[in-house]
Structure 1
Amino acid sequence: MDNSNTINFPNQIKRNAVIRFLHLYVISYVYLFIFTSQVSPLQGINKTGVLWLCKNIFQQKQVEYIMMTGSGDTTLDYWVVVVNMSLAAVAALVVLLIDKKQRTFKDLHWFTVVVVRYYVAMIMLSYGFAKLHNGQFPANTIGRLEEKVGDMSPMGVIWSMMGASTGYTFVSGLLEATGGLLLLFRRTKTFGALFSMTVMINVALLNFFYDVPVKIFSSHIVLFCLFIVSGDAIALYRFFILHQPSQLRFQKRTSDKRWKRITLISAKWLVVAIFIFSSSTTLFYTPPAVPMEGAYNVEKFIINNQEVPSCSNDSVGWKKILISYPGRTGVILNNDSTKAFQGVVDTAKKTLTIRKKERDNIYAYLHYNVQKDSIMFTGNIGRDSVRIKTTRKNKEDYRLNKRGFHWINEYPFNK
């Protein structure tokens, strides 16, 4: 009897058990994340449950469920990841213990890869199409153009950079949408996963280093792409590293019955059509027009027939009037503080009505008169009569928007 084989046999069983556990763990975690991520309809129910665990089991009293925040990196979101990881380990262990046949779960892995492919494809298509036409990164508003770079948030810098170049934003969206489309088909799934992973690594890095609160989600999309190509890891290693002939696996799943094949193909193209249609709605989005949009630099501010010098560092005189969004108006005072108001422009009556809040009393009621080189605002701020002489600066007047593209640059245009 070969003693070496006797000694190695238990070790082999342990290694197989560890591999099967890790396999089941990854598959379990994939489904948990998909069903609880920020794009899942079950997100609210899951977060409510995790919040209960945090407060009653883990004694994390400071954790809160902050809704409508736009952030996917809240404290509760990180607890969701921890809970999902724990549940995945429990699920994998339970299946491992009750599975007496010691199956490899190849069919489950194959099906999970299909689910992940379609999930990542949906995400890539939605984000990609959103960048193609005034969706995720619209052109910079007047308020953004007036903001000092040093006063911007890191996230604001990214949004300003993307909004400054329609071409770059369009290409970024095109790359994301291309990766999504490639993932929808078995023959291109590996290339699509590698393509999407390359694109999403850049997105994840921007999220991490510019403090964009989508770090958890973007990192998982990168990991999901790795999961898709994991089955072809050996073939990719032989081809790219060892420079040896290699062939990717192609598992063609079909049925021996014609009606089943037709049903599967029809279902696939229905899903593809739904993904593309639901994601492409952003292509038809047109930003609402902003009447009298612009930055109005105040040259003279006269209140109760007394001119307030622009050099005075007070909170009475106005330095700029910013009309950036429909229904919103900003005012920069002489002391450089900014106030945000509800502002309604009536182009028929040529009036600007300003309120602190939507249902508050009128804060300022101004008539405007467009002259050759200036715009005059006359009316009242509270009980005080005012006359404000301004010069208007449109979006196209900013250097960031005027420069455009140049094939030839004798010197860098960096002033």
Structure 2
Amino acid sequence: MDTKSISFPNQKKRNAALRFMHLWIISYVYLFIFTSQFSPLEGIHKSGVLWLCKNVFQQKQVEYITMTGSGDTTLDYWVVLVNIGLAVVAALIILFADKKQRTFKDLHWFTVVVARYYVAMIMLSYGFAKLHDGQFPANTIGRLEERVGDMSPMGMVWTMMGASTGYTFVSGLLEVIGGLLLLFRRTKTFGALFSMTVMINVALLNFFYDVPVKIFSSHIVWLCLFIVGGDAMALYRFFVLQQPSQLRFQKRIFDKKWKGITVTGLKWCVVAFFILSSSSALFYTPPAVPMEGAYIVDKFIINNQEIPNSDSVGWKKLLVISPSRTKVILNNDSIKTFQSVLDTETKTLMLRKIDHQDLYAYLHYSTQKDSIVFTGNKGIDSIKINTIRKKKEDYKLNKRGFHWVNEYPYNR
């Protein structure tokens, strides 16, 4: 029997399998980009997946939870599974409809362009947000007063990043550089490798510190791999086999000059839009917090009677965290959070329970040497609180700073 007659059907099957995988990957790229958290179609797509979960897959417990800051909800994982299935369906339809058995090279390269611009937009957006008090602002008084053992793993990451303006700035700068490199064909491979390296670190932090952006960050790494995929053999020959190699570069050729000018103009409009819309974070200034600080209670007096430190009624600390949020730490270390209004002209502080209009305490404050004294009413009781203010710069985490020379490690 002729061996060619046996190998030909096998080769045909392998080619069909490769074409299917190629089409599946391309389909999934578009499905992810057009249904991700930055897409206007996200809500519509999630609603459709939710309907499938409840009516087809009988997953009655799945809900569409919005405005939580989490991208790893149960529904988000179902979106991934549904997108995988939709990509399979799309690939099969194209495969069976294509009688000419094309390789879809043009579609692949166009998809690479779409992926490049999408990843560039994400990198620029997150990068600029890190350059100036955006994604990781300086730690608040509430964060500085939180015990390390009581922090969430995610809170630990935010504390670490907020403690070092320099590290946060460099992290953002690297993301911006990766995004800019992806915007141009000549630097796209370097940009994808550069961005992938940066985003692997981000994804690892998300996974091992339980930051709920695992799905999204993993997909950005995967998109970088997809962009690099077309140059995989050239990179392998150069880095592994140490052979001369050249990356593929497709020069745009137009039959009319005006077409080239139009495409170039559109490209620079998109680049300008990405940079201007993302760099708006550079001009964000966090609101000032009057009297911000931790007020350590020295004496707590109710109705002219001093409350001992062992009494749970007394206050241990008063934390002025933001213009509208104040926390009280009681002697038993329980924490109460209040809506607050602080008026520096009348020197008053009003505390209300969260989601309630009832006034919890109305206090006047005055400065006496090194201490701040609060006097007023808590309910029907008169109170007087002698405190010592601790500012952000008084915390060891903030005042240590950078040292070129360390005779001994400062780790205490």
Q: Structure 1 residues 193 and 48, CA, compared in 2 at 3 Å: closer, same or farther?
A: same
Task: Give the equivalent residue in structure 2 for 1:56.
Answer: 55
Letter paired with 1:219:
S
Aligned partner (choices 396, 404, 408) of residue 405 of structure 2: 408
Task: Give the equivalent residue in structure 1 for 2:117.
Answer: 118
CA contact (8 A) 2:31 2:87 kept: yes
Task: Give the equivalent residue in structure 2 for 1:30.
Answer: 29
1:361 equivalent to 2:358? Answer yes
Alignment size in residue pairs: 412
What is the rounded CA distance, in whole Å, between the counterparts of 1:248 and 1:5 in structure 2?
Answer: 35
Letter paired with 1:20:
R
CA contact (8 A) 2:124 2:278 kept: yes
Task: Give the equivalent residue in structure 2 for 1:374.
Answer: 371
Letter paired with 1:119:
Y
CA deviations 1:94-150 (Å, max 9, x no partner) are 110111000000000010000000000000000000000000000000000000000
Task: Give the equivalent residue in structure 2 for 1:11.
Answer: 10
Q: How does 1:126-145 map to 2 (within 5 A)?
A: 126-145=125-144
Q: How does 1:38-49 map to 2 (within 5 A)?
A: 38-49=37-48
What is the rounded CA distance, in whole Å, between the counterparts of 1:185 and 1:5 in structure 2?
Answer: 45
Task: Give the equivalent residue in structure 2 for 1:290.
Answer: 289
Task: Give the equivalent residue in structure 2 for 1:348.
Answer: 345
What is the rounded CA distance, in whole Å, between the counterparts of 1:402 and 1:121 in structure 2?
Answer: 36
The 3-state SS of whatever aligns with 1:72 is coil
1:357 Cα deviation after fit: 3.2
1:262 equivalent to 2:261? Answer yes
1:21 Cα deviation after fit: 0.2
Task: Give the equivalent residue in structure 2 for 1:387.
Answer: 384
The 3-state SS of whatever aligns with 1:391 is strand
CA contact (8 A) 1:305 1:386 kept: yes
1:358 Cα deviation after fit: 5.8
CA contact (8 A) 2:350 2:363 kept: yes
CA contact (8 A) 1:299 1:310 kept: no
What is the rounded CA distance, in whole Å, between the counterparts of 1:254 and 1:394 in structure 2?
Answer: 62
Unaligned runs of 5+ residues in structure 1 are none
What is the rounded CA distance, in whole Å, between the counterparts of 2:337 and 2:124 in structure 1?
Answer: 36
CA deviations 1:281-327 (Å, max 9, x no partner) are 00000000001000000000000111111133x1x111100001111
CA deviations 1:257-304 (Å, max 9, x no partner) are 111011000000000000000000000000000010000000000001
What is the rounded CA distance, in whole Å, between the counterparts of 2:68 and 2:194 in structure 1?
Answer: 31
Q: How does 1:62-211 map to 2 (within 5 A)?
A: 62-211=61-210
What is the rounded CA distance, in whole Å, between the counterparts of 1:356 and 1:387 in structure 2?
Answer: 20
Aligned partner (choices 303, 306, 326) of residue 323 of structure 2: 326
CA deviations 1:43-74 (Å, max 9, x no partner) are 11111100000001000011010011100000
The normalised TM-score by structure 1 is 0.98
The 3-state SS of whatever aligns with 2:366 is strand
What is the rounded CA distance, in whole Å, between the counterparts of 1:36 and 1:358 in structure 2?
Answer: 35
CA contact (8 A) 2:124 2:275 kept: yes
1:6 Cα deviation after fit: 1.7
What is the rounded CA distance, in whole Å, between the counterparts of 1:384 and 1:262 in structure 2?
Answer: 76
What is the rounded CA distance, in whole Å, between the counterparts of 2:361 and 2:253 in structure 1?
Answer: 70
1:359 Cα deviation after fit: 5.5
What is the rounded CA distance, in whole Å, between the counterparts of 1:254 and 1:261 in structure 2?
Answer: 8
Q: Structure 1 runs of 4+ off > 4 angstroms?
A: none
CA contact (8 A) 1:321 1:330 kept: yes
Letter paired with 1:378:
T
Letter paired with 1:320:
K
CA contact (8 A) 1:232 1:249 kept: yes
What is the rounded CA distance, in whole Å, between the counterparts of 1:138 and 1:119 in structure 2?
Answer: 26
Letter paired with 1:9:
F
CA contact (8 A) 1:129 1:177 kept: yes
Letter paired with 1:357:
I
Letter paired with 1:221:
I
The normalised TM-score by structure 2 is 0.99
What is the rounded CA distance, in whole Å, between the counterparts of 1:284 and 1:359 in structure 2?
Answer: 34
Letter paired with 1:329:
T
The 3-state SS of whatever aligns with 2:89 is helix
Unaligned runs of 5+ residues in structure 2 are none
CA contact (8 A) 2:337 2:354 kept: no
CA contact (8 A) 2:50 2:64 kept: yes
1:41 Cα deviation after fit: 1.1
What is the rounded CA distance, in whole Å, between the counterparts of 1:368 and 1:362 in structure 2?
Answer: 17
CA contact (8 A) 1:35 1:42 kept: yes
1:254 Cα deviation after fit: 2.5
Letter paired with 1:340:
T
The 3-state SS of whatever aligns with 1:341 is strand
The 3-state SS of whatever aligns with 1:227 is helix
The 3-state SS of whatever aligns with 1:377 is strand
Letter paired with 1:204:
A
